[in-house]
Structure 1
Amino acid sequence: MRKSVHVRRQRVRRRGRIGLTRAQALLVLFACAVFFCLLTGFVLAGGEEAEPVYASYKLVTVQPGDSLWELAGRYQEEAGIERAELIAAIKRANQLSHTLIYPGDNLLIPLAK
């Protein structure tokens, strides 16, 4: 009677295991690595946009009370683009990660493409 109980336990254990050999596990790991590399390559390649080319830049010294919104409005006609686009272009040209500017800062304002 004990022998049949032991056999049942063994059967339960075998059913719960996933039968992968080392070669199969390495193949799955390799396939996942290749998929990850391809996925990150496509994401990184698609995220980069070409830097717009502008005909010229104007160097402006920030005065008290100036903001990027105000400067973009002041130079919007010369730049020939929308105010929001000009703010983004000013941030790129001056490598700003935020919109805070201070009196005395020198900023490049991109003008007509």
Structure 2
Amino acid sequence: MLKFYLKLFLFTMFVVIISWYGLSGAFAHTNAFLLSSSYQIITVNNGDTLWSIASNYVTDQDDIRDLIIAIKHTNNLDNGVVIHPGQQLKIPLKTKNLEIGIVVKK
């Protein structure tokens, strides 16, 4: 009887570990813009905001907040920093968009 419970315990632990491993990736969120090695240099125009700039480079499947975070990170911008006309910014481009030729909104 002890062998039965030991086998049951080991099987249950196996199922729990496999389930946990499989589900842990299901809820992970990766910012693809932060992984980018392709950039476009833009010049800030009068009235531009990070939101308005980012909206030109995202698709409907993207979260614009991810691109804003990546723009801040890439350009060493702290929260609350104001961008100015004439300032140049590096805009990270998702490699996937470049490879399959998706046209971003402009």
Give the TM-score range, shorter chain.
0.5 to 0.7
Moved over 2 A (4+): none
Pair 1:74-2:56 in alignment: yes
Structure with max Cα Rg: 1
Q: Distance in 2 between matches of 1:81 and 1:100?
A: 24
* Unmatched runs of 5 consecutive residues or more in structure 1: 1-50
TM (normalized to structure 2)?
Answer: 0.52
Paired residue secondary structure (1:96)? coil
Over aligned residues, Cα RMSD in angstroms?
1.9
Q: Distance in 1 between matches of 2:69 and 2:58?
A: 12
State the aligned residue count.
Answer: 61
Q: Distance in 2 between matches of 1:110 and 1:97?
A: 17
Q: Percent identity over the alignment?
A: 39
Q: Distance in 1 between matches of 2:92 and 2:72?
A: 10
Q: Distance in 1 between matches of 2:58 and 2:78?
A: 21
TM (normalized to structure 1)?
Answer: 0.49
Q: Distance in 1 between matches of 2:42 and 2:77?
A: 15
Superposed displacement of residue 100, structure 1: 1.4
**Which structure is higher in RCO with an 8 Å CA cutoff and minimum separation 6?**
2
